[in-house]
């Protein structure tokens, strides 16, 4: 069982109309270990709790007409007012924002309190964009039904960078987009040594650590050049 820490390194409050989506995620894998150890606190809040409408509505028709519904500003402002502390960073999951990178996740991991707002429908009232949030983040150039999955991605990418969350800190150094190289990770192999006529490269079985390190660097660069050449052309985009 992970050792409980006295005070979490990071508190993440998620504001959503579907807080139940976070129940299983919060208790599984790396996220579950981080929460159980006390290094991270993750709390999912129902936005409807801050609605002033008798039916607990959080959305309404857009002024000027058009398809769909827009999330009202009042519940979102009230939620942030209630949850915000002096060191809070308010983040809206939004296709307007820059796409999440490892560098951005490292920056967020240095914060103490994140409030993640999950939009729905046709988006949120423009006053939320302009006057409530500190940062908007996208996880890619596509549309989801809401910001919940994006919030999970942002939260997990961030919390796994905190000291002690991963069992083996060396894993962070070997990750794709890790600081210092900004490339994809090298190919990995495990037992059996041969499977269906496909053998593990001899160098990995040689015991020569210098040769293994050189092979891994070469393979990472080759793989990145073949699959993500943009990372080699623009390494600064993935660095601090």
pLDDT digits (tens, 9 = 90+) for 215-233: 999 999 999 999 999 989 8
Give a yes or no: residue 76 inside a domain.
Answer: yes
Give a yes or no: residue 104 inside a domain.
Answer: yes
Beta strands (DSSP E) in 4-152 are 10-16, 40-46, 59-60, 70-71, 88-93, 113-118, 135-137
Residues 80 and 195 in one domain: no
Find the domain containing 200 and state its range.
177-238
Give a yes or no: residue 184 inside a domain.
Answer: yes
Give a yes or no: residue 120 inside a domain.
Answer: yes
| Element containing residue 75 per DSSP (H, E) | helix 73-83
Instruction: Spot the catalytic one: 36, 122, 222, 239.
Output: 122
Cα–Cα dist 33/26, whole Å = 9
Instruction: Spot the catalytic one: 8, 95, 106, 125.
Output: 95
13: closest CA among 80, 77, 76, 78? 80
Question: For the whole model, what pTM was predicted?
Answer: 0.88
pLDDT of 239 strictly over 60: no
Count of domains forming the chain: 2
At 223, which CATH number? 1.10.1270.20
Q: Is 134 considered catalytic here?
A: no
Q: Is 13 considered catalytic here?
A: no
pLDDT value for 29: 96
Residue 98: other Cβ atoms inside 10 A: 11
Residues 23 and 54 in one domain: yes
Q: What is the pLDDT of residues 87-119, one digit of tens each?
A: 999 999 999 999 999 999 999 999 999 999 999
If phi > 0 it is left, if psi is from -120 to 50 it is alpha, else beta; for residue 166 that is: beta
Q: Is 175 considered catalytic here?
A: yes
Give a yes or no: residue 1 inside a domain.
Answer: no
Residues 155 and 225 in one domain: no
Q: Which of 159, 185, 213 is the last residue of a domain?
A: 159
Q: Which of 99, 124, 159 is the last residue of a domain?
A: 159
Instruction: Spot the catalytic one: 46, 74, 175, 239.
Output: 175
Residues 44 and 131 in one domain: yes
- Helix axis angle for 102-109 and 148-159, nearest 10°, is 70
Residues 223 and 105 in one domain: no
Cα–Cα dist 89/239, whole Å = 21
Give a yes or no: residue 75 inside a domain.
Answer: yes
Give a yes or no: residue 21 inside a domain.
Answer: yes
If phi > 0 it is left, if psi is from -120 to 50 it is alpha, else beta; for residue 152 that is: alpha
Give a yes or no: residue 4 inside a domain.
Answer: no
Give φ, ψ of 25 to 5 degrees: -60, -40
Q: Is 160 considered catalytic here?
A: yes
pLDDT value for 168: 61
């Amino acid at each position: 069982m992970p050792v409980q820490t006295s005070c979490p390194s990071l508190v993440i409050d998620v504001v959503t109309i579907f807080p139940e989506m976070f129940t299983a995620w919060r208790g599984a894998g790396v996220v579950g270990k981080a929460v159980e150890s006390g290094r991270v606190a993750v709390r999912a809040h129902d936005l409807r709790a801050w609605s002033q409408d008798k039916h607990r509505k959080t959305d309404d028709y857009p002024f000027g007409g058009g398809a769909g519904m827009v999330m009202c500003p009042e519940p979102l402002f009230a939620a942030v007012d209630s949850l915000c502390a002096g060191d809070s960073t308010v983040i809206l999951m939004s296709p307007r924002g820059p796409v999440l990178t490892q560098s951005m996740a490292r920056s967020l991991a240095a914060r103490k309190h994140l409030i993640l707002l999950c939009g729905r429908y046709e988006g949120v009232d423009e006053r939320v964009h302009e006057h409530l949030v500190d940062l908007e983040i996208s996880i890619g150039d596509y549309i989801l039904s809401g910001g919940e999955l994006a919030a999970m991605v942002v939260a997990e990418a961030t919390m796994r960078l905190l000291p002690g969350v991963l069992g083996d800190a060396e894993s962070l150094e070997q990750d794709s987009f890790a600081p210092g190289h900004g490339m994809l990770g090298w190919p990995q192999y495990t037992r059996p040594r041969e499977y269906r006529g496909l053998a593990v490269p001899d160098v990995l079985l040689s015991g020569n650590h210098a040769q293994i390190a050189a092979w891994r660097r070469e393979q990472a660069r080759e793989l990145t050049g073949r699959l993500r050449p943009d990372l080699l052309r623009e390494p600064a985009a993935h660095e601090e």
